[in-house]
């Protein structure tokens, strides 16, 4: 996790807007390709520490938020995406939080150096080379074109086997890796937010400046005797 891709903002909620929209996907013949689904959207208007007001949109958010409550919004920058994605929303006033799985999956995703296709191709080439060298040095091996043909055949056979094994292993290992990375990230953000909330509670409030004393009018002059 890179700190320069993480955006953490805090502030007081000044307005909450709740809307919903129905999304229907239609084909070329105006038939519904997929059943429609309703997306609930919550828009928060937040006044940050410096007085700046910003709005944040959250889709299908079940966390209860009302005006005057203090929240912390955790977002992340994703390559080839103009806007950052929502990761976690903390409600400091109620002590609750909600992670956004779609944003977390994008932010915590890890692209391997070699995918199943790359591993299959690499294994195919290695098997072909090893098979060809074995034919050259083996006293009972084939020679010439037969050795090359056998090496190519073994390499072709090795490709789908290695590709299938690499794909299944990546799916299993990636699921476990993401689960652990997700839990570590949420725990780290909870720790940061907890420290932030404790800092706010320990900060003494500034007393209102005392009003300046009002000057009393001078006493009226006594009339002088004749």
Q: Average pLDDT, stretch 24-31? A: 56
pLDDT in tens, 154-167: 888 888 888 888 88
**Domain regions of the chain by residue span:** 3-109, 112-192
Q: Report pLDDT for 203.
A: 54
Q: Over 50: is that where the pLDDT of 57 sits?
A: yes
Cβ neighbour number for residue 122 with a 10 Å cutoff? 14
Query: How does DSSP classify residue 5?
Result: G
Q: Over 60: is that where the pLDDT of 221 sits?
A: no
Separation CA 53–CA 47 (nearest Å)? 4
**pLDDT > 70 in the chain, percent:** 75
Which range has the worst mean pLDDT, 177-181, 182-186, 192-196, 208-212?
208-212
- Cα 220 → chain centroid: 75
């Amino acid at each position: 996790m890179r700190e320069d891709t993480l955006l953490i903002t805090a502030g007081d909620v000044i307005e909450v807007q709740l809307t919903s929209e129905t999304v229907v996907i239609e084909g070329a013949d105006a038939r519904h390709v997929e059943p429609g689904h309703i997306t609930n959207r919550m828009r928060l208007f937040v006044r940050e520490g410096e007085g700046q007001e910003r709005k944040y949109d959250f889709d299908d958010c079940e966390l209860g938020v009302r005006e005057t409550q203090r929240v912390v919004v955790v977002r992340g920058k994703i390559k080839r995406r103009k806007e950052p994605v929502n990761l976690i929303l903390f409600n400091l006033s109620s002590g609750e939080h909600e992670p956004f799985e779609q944003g977390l999956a994008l932010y915590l995703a890890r692209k391997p150096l070699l995918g199943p296709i790359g591993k299959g191709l690499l294994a195919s080439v290695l098997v072909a080379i090893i098979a060809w060298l074995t034919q050259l040095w083996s006293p009972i091996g084939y020679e010439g074109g037969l050795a090359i043909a056998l090496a190519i055949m073994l390499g072709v056979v090795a490709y789908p086997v290695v590709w299938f094994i690499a794909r299944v292993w990546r799916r299993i290992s990636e699921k476990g890796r993401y689960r652990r990375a997700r839990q570590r990230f949420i725990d780290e953000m909870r720790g940061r937010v907890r420290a932030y909330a404790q800092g706010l509670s320990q900060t003494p409030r500034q007393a209102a400046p005392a009003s300046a004393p009002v000057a009393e009018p001078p006493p009226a002059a006594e009339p002088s005797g004749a």
